[in-house]
Amino acid sequence: MKTIIAACSQNLSGSRASIQTALRTLLAVPWPSQRDIGSALQLLAVLQWVLSFLLLGIVSLLLLIYLLFTSLWLIPVLYLAWIIFDWDTPEKGGRRLSCLRRWTVWKHFRDYFPVKLVKTHDLSPSHNYIIGSHPHGILCVGAFCNFITGSTGFEELFPGIRSFLTTLAGNFRLPLFREYLMSGGLFPVTRRAIGYLLSQQGTGNAVAIVIGGAAESLSCRPGVTTLILKNRKGFVRMALRHGAFLVPSFSFGENDLFRQVVFEEGSWMRSIQRRFQKMMGFAPCLFYGRGLTSGRSRGFLPYARPITTVVGEPLAVPKVENPSRELVDRYHELYIRALLKLFNENKTKYGLSESDELHIL
């Protein structure tokens, strides 16, 4: 009996020693620092944003199609009926949720790059504005962060001004994705939607338009500052019709977030990209960024590169219901001059050299 008790005591002593050793080992492991936790939150914020924009629409559509052939078929049927009833809402002011704009995750999103908004002139709440956003880049990170989220302080820098951002109208035909876009304050880049924002909601509205669009994304690569703008005059015509002042803005660093396989003009791959763009409204770019586990690996997340969006001086525009071609050309030229001035005055401050030029096609 004494032998059994001694053996049990020995086992208990050994177990306690093992537990103590394990606890000492666990406590010896360095806990993640506040900086490590912050970096992880920033990475997750960017990951959810990229996945939302690249996959949410397609996944939602496939899910609803799948549900049609299950016992839950009534859900997609009712939602389809709702979309038909709600079809025009994106072009009539949408359903913007202020709480989503103030979502804490956008602060982590901002800090990942980081993104900064720079004001050069005041914007009066007694006018409406069309902000030209340049360049397009791959995913328009600067435009989204500054004009949709409140993380960079747009409303504090421009008191009394409400900012909106336009995107492809086709995005608002995708189930659930349309609700996500509208709740954030995005609108279709159509005459009807822009006209509603500039005429039906009083003054103090600033509609940001990424003027270069999908065509410009095909030329996006680090160190290249080429804009598609010479024949893009619809935004000037809209500004004249509604008397909205034109405001140039430029996001320095936007083209440094991804690496893209750029096909030369005239090549068969570029031809395929152009045709796809005309049919679908967006261009299929072959690009890559960093991976999820390491900044040195390749993946679909943007590289952590600083983006500085500089908002320039507003260009006063008269209200002309039916502007002539000559008038549109005149204000289009004035806008280009203002944009070039903004770029040249700020390029050396935000990562470019004095010899870098802005090419406008």
DSSP 159-172: TT-EEEEEE-GGGG
Contact residues for 38 (Cβ-Cβ < 8 A; gap 6+) = 108, 111
State the total domains in the chain. Answer: 1
| pLDDT value for 3 | 47
The phi, psi pair for 260, rounded to 5°, reads -125, 145
**Is residue 6 in some structural domain?**
no
| Environment class of 100 (CB within 10 Å of its CB; exposed 0-12, middle 13-18, buried 19+) | middle
- Judge whether 3 lies within some domain: no
Contact call for residues 334 and 326 (beta carbons, < 8 A):
no
**Which pLDDT score is estimated for 12?**
44
Is the residue at 7 inside a domain? no
CA angle 238, 200, 230 (to 5 degrees): 15
What is the Cα–Cα distance from 361 to 7, expressed in whole angstroms? 87
Tokens describing residue 217: 């994304």
- Structural domain includes residue 284: yes
Give domain status of residue 8, yes or no. Answer: no
Question: How far is Cα 274 from Cα 247, in angstroms, rounded to an integer?
Answer: 29
Confidence at residue 269, expressed as pLDDT on a 0 to 100 scale: 64
- Determine contact, residues 228/216, Cβ cutoff 8 Å: yes
Q: How far apart are CA 318 and CA 240, in angstroms?
A: 6
Asked, for residue 26, whether it belongs to a domain, the answer is no
Each of the 361 residues of the chain gets a pLDDT tens digit; together they read: 444 444 444 544 555 666 666 556 645 656 667 777 888 899 999 999 999 988 998 899 999 999 999 999 999 999 999 999 999 999 998 888 888 888 899 999 999 999 999 999 999 999 999 999 999 988 899 999 999 998 999 999 999 999 999 998 888 988 889 999 998 889 999 999 999 999 877 899 999 999 988 778 777 777 778 898 999 999 999 999 999 999 999 999 998 998 877 666 666 666 766 676 666 555 666 778 888 887 778 888 999 999 999 999 999 999 998 999 999 999 999 999 999 999 999 999 998 888 888 889 8
Q: Whole-angstrom Cα distance, residue 37 to residue 35?
A: 5
Q: Residue 24: inside a domain, yes or no?
A: no
Instruction: Let me know if residue 14 belongs to a domain.
Output: no
CB 197 within 8 A of CB 218: no
What's residue 185's pLDDT?
A: 86
What range defines the domain where residue 258 resides?
A: 35-360
